[in-house]
Structure 1
């Protein structure tokens, strides 16, 4: 059965080996119910065929040969430019970068750029020496002065030329995530100039080197908050517990293990931020005594003595300045609102996000979530959605009720 399309993404594929990664981008977006059109430059066809993208997108892929056909009812570049909600160019080559920076239009891809008004996401990829050329960086920086252009910077690693260095195109998962953000915001950068501090994941409180008290938190919600803030233009720092999640290089990541480590980092970083979001699942108690060597099983206590862990968010609330906004999270079962309201007032928070962890496809480890945003004057339900989408809903609400309300 054909999916019900709700959004339209146009993808321009440049001539580079990284074009193979765009196949996964197209496949993933199609499975998410997004309608896809693909333009290939002549060079791109040396790496991936139009048939491949036509098969993955369930629609013919366009080349420069189509550009000059007379049977198009309207000019093809005009039709495609008006059709797109979001325009991705990946891999962006040095050649296309130069053309876009100068406003040139000598093929279907560059003509469609000039005929469109939607946000454009750029994912460059090239050899390290090419990427670091003064002329290439000048053209790249020129592009970034245009508010239409959003960018995913290159990463470092082993390149197809066997060079190890900067120039790798971002991975498909990161590109898809950015497209999802743009489909929500349509390119608005309403957090530019804001510094946002986010905690994520669970903490571990050790009994000995191999045993600890912990929780199932994976940090997915906190990372989604960090990524959504980044895509909206903020400067973001993520303080996170032990996790296998990949943090984009544009986000300052500070790993911690214990609640005390998180406490020290959060208090140290606090003065530099406008918005602080404590989405981490911090331990409430820890073993009273730590053993530096592994305890044999027979030596484990039948009754484990516990000690309280410092209340990080209350301490942050007591130190924050009037212009700073502090938002907490409350993972609950059953009634999620009543305990969240109590936490909001008792800990002097500006807002709290209450989310259920006892519902299917929600809470710890899930890719989706649902929640109730609560502040002193509002209760706003956020229905079940992906965690990235929920993060954007949270920032929509925070922007309206906290950041710009005053």
Structure 2
């Protein structure tokens, strides 16, 4: 997703500038071409040499304003070069300049000389952030479709204040950049309600023992994130999320999150949300069976059954397939080994799905618990689109691209 992509980063004067070192480093390591502009005040926090080293390219300052590149002004060259522009930290001063179209330094001149999507990551003291003038500027800038936002969050600030104004973390900023590079800033899912299931359900024998599966929920989180970045209203019904850490929590910002444990809890939550959904994406690994009897207290080891009677679990996807309306789209996932296409097609037809992603979980770095995935995307009209191994966020975008092309009606 990042190989050869052109990312321009503008850094204003704020202590949060140190966080952008990690962003620049990760982008460069992933193969992106990165250019960095620092305002004069930004250099009081992080030096141009730091960003030049991390980006493998000289960093620019106002001293370079009139530098010529191939006979053209630098801000024109950089503005036309960039595929996406990140402004982080975005200070109250730079925010005001953007609102009024000021171009009094290299960074703001480059913003005006560019047409690519711009991601804004504000950072400032809570009292500054909550000023009416700052909030007015913030709302006005968001009304411009070119600008996209991440954060700010709340927490302890460098001034020891606890409150809003904390810049988004690198693990929040990087995925948003990836989405903008894929969509080119288009909010093509705006107005859609997307309902997503995620994670692996648990069917308990007693309070501490259960039948489960290896799903971590990472694919569902990536789907929610991609849909949100594309402008959709997202509801995520998720079983326990495993190993996603703080990043998983950040992915849920802006998403209506409904945590569940068992397949029946997931079923009830999904059916409750179904009438308002346009697309339903079933990425959860839902149990097929459950213990026939539940024990309210932990069973002593000596009392554990040597054979475990099982009961079936309702097929949620199949039930939704019978209930969905003509305008709704139902998309499933099929975690398979060996031949992945034949059983996925069978699942698509039996459950009345509109599309399905067949995942080879027996391949390295694919399927449960990994950060990458691969699939064959299938629809009810016989199309098959292979997606080679990629990040789960890219997989989510590729799936949404596929669903966008499904015939209507």
Q: What residue is the counterpart of 1:65 in the other structure?
A: 63
Q: What residue is the counterpart of 1:270 in the other structure?
A: 274
Residue 347 (1) aligns with residue 351 (2): yes
Q: What residue is the counterpart of 1:390 in the other structure?
A: 395
What is the RMSD computed on CA atoms of the aligned residues?
Answer: 1.4
SS in 2 for 1:123: strand
CA–CA distance in structure 2, aligned partners of residues 71 and 334 of structure 1: 54
Residue 400 (1) aligns with residue 398 (2): no
CA–CA distance in structure 2, aligned partners of residues 112 and 201 of structure 1: 43
SS in 1 for 2:15: coil
Q: What residue is the counterpart of 1:317 in the other structure?
A: 321
TM-superposed deviation, 1:69:
4.8
Q: What residue is the counterpart of 2:181 in the other structure?
A: 183
The two structures have a TM-score, normalised by structure 1, of: 0.96
CA–CA distance in structure 2, aligned partners of residues 154 and 238 of structure 1: 22
Q: What residue is the counterpart of 1:360 in the other structure?
A: 364
Q: What residue is the counterpart of 2:50 in the other structure?
A: 52
Q: What residue is the counterpart of 1:114 in the other structure?
A: 112
SS in 1 for 2:9: strand
CA–CA distance in structure 1, aligned partners of residues 69 and 282 of structure 2: 57
TM-superposed deviation, 1:338:
1.1
Structure 1 unaligned segments of length 5 or more: list them: none
CA–CA distance in structure 2, aligned partners of residues 69 and 332 of structure 1: 56
CA–CA distance in structure 1, aligned partners of residues 310 and 197 of structure 2: 24
TM-superposed deviation, 1:319:
2.0
Query: Which deviates more, 377-386 or 324-333?
Result: 377-386
Residue 290 (1) aligns with residue 294 (2): yes
Residue 255 (1) aligns with residue 253 (2): no
Asked if the contact 2:200/2:285 (under 8 Å) is kept, the reply is yes
TM-superposed deviation, 1:70:
6.9
Q: Give the direction of change, closer, same or farther, for the CA distance of 1:297–1:5 in structure 2 (3 Å limit).
A: closer
TM-superposed deviation, 1:73:
3.5
CA–CA distance in structure 2, aligned partners of residues 323 and 72 of structure 1: 53
Q: Give the direction of change, closer, same or farther, for the CA distance of 1:326–1:69 in structure 2 (3 Å limit).
A: closer
TM-superposed deviation, 1:164:
1.5
CA–CA distance in structure 2, aligned partners of residues 312 and 157 of structure 1: 39
Query: Which deviates more, 240-249 or 333-342?
Result: 240-249
SS in 2 for 1:212: strand
CA–CA distance in structure 2, aligned partners of residues 16 and 186 of structure 1: 28
TM-superposed deviation, 1:123:
0.7
CA–CA distance in structure 2, aligned partners of residues 344 and 391 of structure 1: 18
Residue 22 (1) aligns with residue 26 (2): no
TM-superposed deviation, 1:162:
1.5
- Write the mapping of 1:195-234 to structure 2, written as runs, cut at 5 A: 195-234=193-232
CA–CA distance in structure 1, aligned partners of residues 252 and 96 of structure 2: 26
CA–CA distance in structure 2, aligned partners of residues 131 and 260 of structure 1: 44
Residue 380 (1) aligns with residue 370 (2): no
CA–CA distance in structure 2, aligned partners of residues 315 and 167 of structure 1: 45
Q: What residue is the counterpart of 1:308 in the other structure?
A: 312
Per-residue Cα deviation, 1:199-232 (whole angstroms, up to 9, x for no partner):
1110111111111111000111111111111111
CA–CA distance in structure 1, aligned partners of residues 282 and 68 of structure 2: 58
CA–CA distance in structure 1, aligned partners of residues 232 and 377 of structure 2: 21
Moved over 6 A (4+): none
CA–CA distance in structure 2, aligned partners of residues 169 and 70 of structure 1: 33
Aligned residue-pair number: 401
Per-residue Cα deviation, 1:70-114 (whole angstroms, up to 9, x for no partner):
788321111111111111000111110100000000011100000
The two structures have a TM-score, normalised by structure 2, of: 0.95
Structure 2 unaligned segments of length 5 or more: list them: none
